[in-house]
Amino acid sequence: MLKPFLILVSAIALQAPLPGQTGSVQGVVVRAGSSEPIAKASVELQGGGMEAQTTTTESDGRFFFPNLPAGSYQLTVW
């Protein structure tokens, strides 16, 4: 059975970086309706003219995608 979750995202990639600058996307995956972090959730980031990147949340539900070019991104969690 799939359980609902909520993603809290902060520090969105830079909108207009200077040449050579990058941004990052980071956040926390928590169970919907609570603040309980979800460990080992798969988080996929697509967009920014790059191939999709995937990471797994830490025990505290945190994830991080560093060194991203400016652009629009979509997050998917499962």
Q: What is the pTM of this model?
A: 0.75
Residue 9, pLDDT score: 53
**Which candidate, 42, 26, 27, 32, places its Cα nearest to that of 3?**
32
Extract the residue ranges of the chain whose pLDDT is less than 70.
Answer: 1-19
**Could you tell me which residues come within 8 angstroms of residue 49 by beta carbon, excluding any fewer than 6 positions away?**
69, 71
CA distance to 2, 20, 42, 52, 71, per residue, from 10 (Å): 25, 22, 18, 19, 15
Closest by Cα among 13, 26, 33 to 61: 26
CA distance linking residue 50 with residue 27, whole number of Å: 20
